[in-house]
Structure 1
Amino acid sequence: MTTHAQGLSNPANSQPGDALITAHDLTLRYGSKTALERASFSIPKGRVVGLLGHNGAGKTSLMKALVGLLPADGSLSVLGLSPRHQRNALLEQLCYIPDVAVLPRWAKVSELMTLMGGLQPRFSAARARELLKRTSVSESDKVKNLSKGMVTQVHLALVAAIDARLMILDEPTLGLDVISRKSFYEMLIEEWCDGERSVLISTHQVEEVESLLSDVMMLDEGRLVLNISLEDMDKRFVALSHDPATAEAIANAHPLLRYRQQGGRSAAIFDGAPPAEIAALGERIRPSLVDLFMALTRNPALHAKRA
C-alpha cells in the first residue's frame, strides 16, 4: 500500500551565484494539457542531478524547455540566459543529447568531428580523440558499422569534447546492454565532471545511476515532488525493516510506502523520523532511490488499470 505524499519539493542547498539553472513557477503546456506545473528549483555548479519520473511525467518536456525548444510560463534562466530568446548563445555553453538522438549512418567518425568543429566553436577535436581512445571506435569507422553501444559512446565523446558548463542527457543509454551503459557512465563521470560543470540526466535505470548522483529531482504527473541532495535524502527519509507481527502497528503510523525486501522481510519508508515507539518496532535501514521513487510517484499504467 502506498500513500502519495504532496508538496515534497526541497531544493538542494546552494549559493545563488553558483546556480547554472534557476526556475520559478515553471509551467509547460501543450494546448489544454499541462506537462509541468509551477516547478521551482535550482541546479548549482558541480552537481550530477538525476531527473526521475514515469513515462509522461514531464521529464522530456522540462529538458526541451531548458534548451529552448519549448515555450514556458514562469521564470527560467539557464547559464544566466533565456533559453527561448538567447538560444544561440546558450547552446555554445550547453551540451544536449535527446532521447531520439541519431548520428548520420553514412558518415565516418572523423567526418563527424570535422562537422562538429564547424558547428560548435567550443568543440575540441583533440579532446574528442582522447575520449575515443577509451572506446573500441576508430576515426575511420563509419556509423553504420558500429553497434548501438558504440554509437552512443561516439555521441558522448563528441558532446563531451565541447567546453561547456552544463550537459543535459535525456535517456542517453536507452536500449543499451548493461556493459555499454556502465561504460557510458564511467566515461561521463571520469572525463567530463570536474566539480565546476553540472549534468542533468533523465533515466529509468535508477539503480545504475544512484551511485553517480549528487542530487535527485522527481516528477510525478507534471509536479516536482522532490528536489534534494542524496546526502539530505539519507537524513530526511527513514526506512524500517520489521517483522510481520509489527506490520499493523507500523501501517497505523502512515508510512509513505510499505514494501517487501529481498528475502521476504517487510519494510516501510517514512518522511522524517517516525515516533520512538514505532522506530523501536524495526531496524533502521537506508531507503534506496528506487524505493523512494515508488513511494513518491504513481505508475500511470497501474493507475489506469485500477480506475
Structure 2
Amino acid sequence: MTIQVKAEAISLRKKNKQIVQNINFTLEGNKIVGLLGRNGAGKTSLLSILAAFRPATNGQFLLNGEDVFENPKAMEQIIFVRERNVEYETEKVSRWIDTAQQLRPNFDRAYADELAKRFKLPQDSKVSKLSRGMQSALHVIIGLASRAPVTLFDEAYLGMDAPAREIFYEEVLRDFVEHPRLIILSTHLISEMDGLFEEVAIIHEGELLLHEGKEEVLERGYRLTGDAEAVDQLSENKRVLKTESLGGTKSVMVYGELAEKDERLARSHGLEIGTLSLQELFIHLTEVDHHE
C-alpha cells in the first residue's frame, strides 16, 4: 500500500501565540524526509499534530485520505519518537519493549533485541535509572523496531554521544532499505544527517519555508569567489545569502538558479563557482528570511 501524508492548512495557536501557520504539503511513498527548523520553529508541534497527540487549531493531517485525529486505524500506523520524561518509570527496559510490541502490529522483537545489543542498552535496568543517552537509545529502538508505516523521529538522538548517533543513522538507513516506509527526521544536526534525506522541509517561525527534493535544493545554492567587481556584477539582482570580503577578493553565497550564460560569464572573469552544503543553505535561508 502506498503511504500518503497530506497537510491541509495546518495551524496551531496556543493562547495568544501562533505556533504554526497555514502549512500545506504532501508526502507520498516510502522515503526519508528531513524536517529542519531552528529551535522554536514549530517542528515538534507539527509532528505532534501528525501523530494525533493534539488537534490542530485549523486544518487537518490526512493519512491515505483519512483524518488522523481520533482515528485509531490511522494512529496505529504512526509512531512518534521523542524525548520523554521517564523519571518516575519503575518498569524494566524489557517490559517497556514488551508493551511497545503489544501495541504495534509490525513490531519485530528480535530486531529490538539486536538494537539493544548494538546500543549496549541493559534490558534488566529500570527505565528511570537509565542515563539520558540510554533513554534516547530506548526510544529509538522502539521507533525502529515498530516498523510503523509512518515513523516520526523528533530529534530522537538527544543525549546520545557521537558513536551512538552513528549507530542510529546506520540503522535508520539499513532498516529503511530492508523495510521501506515513510520516515520523517526532525533535526538540527544537519551536517550529520543530510546524507539520509531524499526530501527536505524547512519550517521557519511557524511557516513552511520550502519543501522539495534535497538535490533540487542543493542545485539552487552556489558560491561565487574572485575579483570583487566581477562578483558584484554577477550577483546583482540575485538572492545573496552571505557576503565575505578580503582586499579585492569577494565571496558570496547565492540562492537561485545559475543560468548557463551567468556560468560562462563567471568563468570568463576567472571566478570560482563552488557548491553549498544543506546546512549552509539552511542557516542562511532562515537568517535572511528572519530579517526580511
- What TM-score do the two structures reach when normalised by structure 2? 0.84
Q: CA offsets per residue over residues 264-284 of structure 1, 9 Å max, x none? A: 972322311256276445332
Conserved 8 A contact 1:95-1:160: no
CA contact (8 A) 1:77 1:83 kept: yes
Matched-pair contact (CA < 8 Å) for 1:256–1:295: no
Match of residue 201, structure 1, among 185, 200, 220: 185
Aligned position for 1:241: 224
- State the alpha-carbon separation in 1 of the partners of residues 10 and 110 from structure 2: 39
Q: How many angstroms does 1:197 deviate by?
A: 0.1
Structure 1, unpaired ranges of 5+: 1-16
The runs of at least 4 aligned residues of structure 1 exceeding 6 Å deviation read: none
Structure 1 CA distance for aligned equivalents of residues 196 and 45 of structure 2? 24
Matching residue's letter, 1:201: L
Over 3 Å counting, the alpha-carbon distance change for 1:19 and 1:124 in structure 2 is closer
Identity of aligned residues (%): 28
Please identify, of 245-254 and 215-224, the stretch whose mean Cα deviation from structure 2 is larger. 245-254
1:217 corresponds, among 201, 205, 217, to 201
Corresponding letter in the other structure for 2:274: I
Distance 2:179 2:274 in 1: 30
Match of 1:114 among 98, 104, 107: 98
1:30 CA displacement: 2.0
Distance 1:19 1:40 in 2: 17
What RMSD over aligned residues (CA atoms) do the two structures have, in Å? Answer: 2.9
Structure 1 residues 251 and 196, CA, compared in 2 at 3 Å: closer, same or farther? same
Superposed displacement of residue 154, structure 1: 2.2
Q: Give 1:8-87 correspondences, 5 Å limit.
A: 18-72=2-56, 73-86=58-71
Give the aligned length: 283
Which SS does the other structure have where 2:239 is aligned? coil
Residue 125 of structure 1 pairs with residue 114 of structure 2: no
SS of 1:90 mapped into structure 2: helix
**CA deviation after TM superposition for structure 1 residue 40, in Å:** 1.4
Distance across 2 between alignment mates of 1:192 and 1:101? 28
Higher strand share: 2
Label 1:279 to 1:213 Cα distance change in 2 as closer, same or farther (>3 A): same
Greater displacement, 249-258 / 148-157: 249-258
The farther-off stretch of 247-256 and 205-214 is 247-256
Of the three residues 284, 287, 291, the one matched with 2:280 is 291
Structure 2 unaligned residues grouped into runs of 5+: none
Q: Report what 2:169 is aligned to.
A: 185
Residue deviations 1:228-287, cap 9 Å, x none?
Answer: 11122233x0302312524433453333312459xx972322311256276445332222
Matched, 1:93 2:72: no
